[in-house]
Amino acid sequence: MSDIKPVAAFLEKLKDNLLPVVVDFWAPWCGPCKRIEPILHRVGEEYAQQADVWRVNADENPEVLRHFNVYGIPTLIAFRGGREIQRATGVQSPGAMKALFESAVSGEVKASSGIPAMERVVRLGSGAVLIGLGAMGGYVGFFLALAVLGGLIAFSGVHDRCPIWQAIAPKAGAWLRAITRRA
């Protein structure tokens, strides 16, 4: 795993690499980046003969991130023959990470192991209905609770794609565990 500085050198090396490449855009201060590092290492070892893993430090290589339109870290991008095959932003499960490596190896985009599209639509729709009911009741008392519940249900349909949520969720979980231990 190596860091690569200039964009031109990165693109040239990517094009010339014999194996597909999974690039991890990360930063040393990034909690979610630290969280996926052991998973990336383990999955990378499983695919060692089939794909390479490169790490690009966002702080040291902002021009490379800009070139690939990376706006949140960690972001993993699978390349084959210098061409982007698939990307994932935020904390990834081992299954999702394997799917990314499989995409790099096969050259085909694999279905996401996240929330299925229909379930996403149902969550967003249900949340919108509950928010609408809350609005009809003027967001007072029970109707406020309904709207808040609707917002939570709607958010559950998109949380896996939200880099901000991926960054704060581990900290919020640790904070809540600390509070419940004191109580």
3-state secondary structure of 88: strand
33: annotated active-site residue? yes
Instruction: Select which of 22, 23, 33, 104 is catalytic.
Output: 33
Greatest alpha-carbon pair distance for the chain in Å reads 63
Long-range contacts of 89-95, Cβ-Cβ distance < 8 Å, separation of 24 or more: 89/161, 89/163, 89/166, 90/32, 90/160, 90/161, 90/162, 90/163, 90/165, 90/166, 90/167, 91/32, 91/35, 91/36, 91/166, 91/169, 91/170, 92/36, 92/39, 93/39, 94/39, 94/42, 94/43
CB 4 within 8 A of CB 10: yes
30: annotated active-site residue? yes
Query: Among all chains, which residue has been given the structure tokens 């509070």?
Result: 179
Instruction: Select which of 14, 22, 30, 58 is catalytic.
Output: 30
Q: Which residues are catalytic?
A: 30, 33
